[in-house]
Amino acid sequence: MRNCLNAPVNSSLCFSRPQLTLSSPILLPALLLLVSGGFPAPVAHADEVSTEAVSTERPNVIVIFADDLGWGDLSCYGHPTIRTPHLDRMAAEGVRFTQFYSGASVCTPSRAALLTGRLPVRSGMCSDRRRVLFPDSDGGLPASEVTLAEALKDAGYATTCVGKWHLGHLPAYLPTQHGFDSYFGVPYSNDMDRVAGQAKPKGRAIFLDPKVEYWNVPLMQDEQVIERPAEQTTITRRYAERAVSFIRENKERPFFLYLAHNLPHVPLFRSPEFEGTSRRGLYGDVIEEIDAGIGRILDEVRAQKLEQKTIVWFTSDNGPWLIFGDHGGSAGLLRDGKGCTYEGGMREPAIAWWPGTIPGGRISHELATTMDIFTTSVLLGGGQVPNDREIDGVDLRPALTGTGPSPRKSVFYYRGTRLMAVRLGPWKAHYITQAAYGGGKPVTHDVPVLYHLEHDPSERHDRAADHPEVLAEIARVVEEHRQRLKPLPTQLERRIGQTD
């Protein structure tokens, strides 16, 4: 029998459909539990075993994604005045990662990485000229990509996307075309569709006292616009309510809920009941409302007695947008923020929660990325990790339970299509550096800048001169990486109505 529980995800062993059935020898499930780091073994697909057996052995998957949340913005990551009791509890009952990365430092490519398990350069979801999709963009996530929703839907899961999509707002690219049974949310960033010609502050000043009517962003249900401009003051609360309803409606079957908040991306909005509740101003109010919604979602999971069979992931798409002053978050002791390839741009708070399977109160220093959420969740759901393309995600199951290391040894930091930096173990080499925003030109380093991130998380002390052997090893990893890279044409530059 072949299975992928203890095979590398890119191994050919991983691509055959799991053949384990309820009639398998009794020793086999026990053996699989051992090799899978204590997780229930993903069993066969829904059409191969009874629904009851599937629902008891495969977890529901909930991925909660914040937008532009910084590494230092949660209580459990050291923020002194933002209160996040529900995320703190989630961390206390689960595992909190200290070295967890997004797939890019801005929204669109980061979301593509999470949902496909692939670096955005492999899917065409990045660009050096337009870094994200805009309302006039003609492209989106190609149909040829396999999303987490598609992989889990094929394995029998109910799926929904609530919140920000930002992988293409035209009909061909919406969530319902990418494996989600339903969609409710704003299809791109909440600062787009800026309304011109009104009496309002100019430039960046409109973000300091934001009004809903300044941004004519649509709220969509499946493929239809149901509200415009979206009432952003209540959007966080409504997303949480949708998430709770979905859990309740699907409690009898495996489900995948992808909740991608539009906030705390600027402009900042919160419900009236959260006005002035935090000691960190408007930004803190926003985070505390997101946290309250997560509390409602976890309460619903518990109320439905699903906590033993639901894995919940929480993280963010990229670091804090520092150019917005105190309307942007904090990367804590990490350098810089959203838009660049220093740590503050891509290292994220990340928590995984699954009572009874993930031991509570653990802090993991293992290397991990959002792309690993894809691979790990597909494997937990008994789905197929695609075998006809490069997948960058790895299986985090042993790292989640603390029974083994993360297979991940490297992190590739891209800005658009350019590989800027590479992490290997504790070391990070910057080949090119560039300011996050403001038009600063990229600087190519003939001798890469080298930081030891465990000794120097703030990236201050260049160790390149002392460690040429580390640079040589990283160069070897880069060469290997490049040989397996076949970039697709960008989806982000073509505009609606544009002719070639």
291: exposed, middle or buried (Cβ count in 10 Å: 0-12, 13-18, 19+): buried
DSSP string covering 403-469: SS--S--EEEEEETTEEEEEEETTEEEEEEE--SSS-PPPEEEEEEEEEETTT-TT-----GGG-HH
Which positions lie near Mg ion, rule CB under 5 A? 67-68, 107, 317-318
**CB closer to Mg ion, 266 vs 399:** 266
Tokens of 462: 């260049």
**CB closer to Mg ion, 176 vs 262:** 262
Distance CA 440, CA 386 (A): 39
Identify residue 183 by its one-letter amino acid code: Y
**CB closer to Mg ion, 65 vs 184:** 65
Among the options 107, 126, 161, 340, which is catalytic? 107
Closest CB to Mg ion: residue number: 107
Alpha helix ranges (H) inside 195-341: 235-249, 281-303
Percent helix, percent strand, percent coil in the chain, to nearest 5:
30, 15, 50
Tokens 């993360």 sit on residue: 406
Distance CA 318, CA 348 (A): 7
What DSSP character marks residue 358? S
**46, 156 in Cβ contact below 8 A?**
yes
- How near is the Cβ of 61 to Mg ion at its closest, in Å? 22
- How near is the Cβ of 66 to Mg ion at its closest, in Å? 8
Identify residue 318 by its one-letter amino acid code: N
**CB closer to Mg ion, 318 vs 434:** 318
**CB closer to Mg ion, 14 vs 268:** 268
Tokens 């090799």 sit on residue: 35
Tokens of 84: 């996040």
Distance CA 406, CA 54 (A): 27
**CB closer to Mg ion, 54 vs 106:** 106
Active site residue 166: yes
- How near is the Cβ of 408 to Mg ion at its closest, in Å? 22
* Torsion angle, alpha carbons of 222, 228, 233, 234, to 10: -40
**CB closer to Mg ion, 177 vs 318:** 318
**CB closer to Mg ion, 67 vs 289:** 67
- How near is the Cβ of 459 to Mg ion at its closest, in Å? 21
Half-sphere exposure in the Cβ direction for 236 (13 Å, CA): 28
Active site residue 107: yes
- How near is the Cβ of 484 to Mg ion at its closest, in Å? 27
Q: Which residues of 482-499 are buried (b: 16+ CB within 10 A; e: fewer)?
A: eeeeeeeebbbbbeeeee
**140, 169 in Cβ contact below 8 A?**
yes
- How near is the Cβ of 80 to Mg ion at its closest, in Å? 24
Reply yes or no: is the peptide bond before residue 254 cis, omega within 30 of 0: no
Q: Kind and range of the H or E element at 313?
A: strand 310-316
**CB closer to Mg ion, 89 vs 164:** 164
Distance CA 123, CA 109 (A): 9
- How near is the Cβ of 222 to Mg ion at its closest, in Å? 24
- How near is the Cβ of 319 to Mg ion at its closest, in Å? 9
Where are the strands (E) in 17-129, listed by range?
60-66, 95-97, 100-101
- How near is the Cβ of 317 to Mg ion at its closest, in Å? 4
Distance CA 416, CA 339 (A): 10
Among the options 86, 126, 161, 166, which is catalytic? 166
Active site amino acids: 107, 166
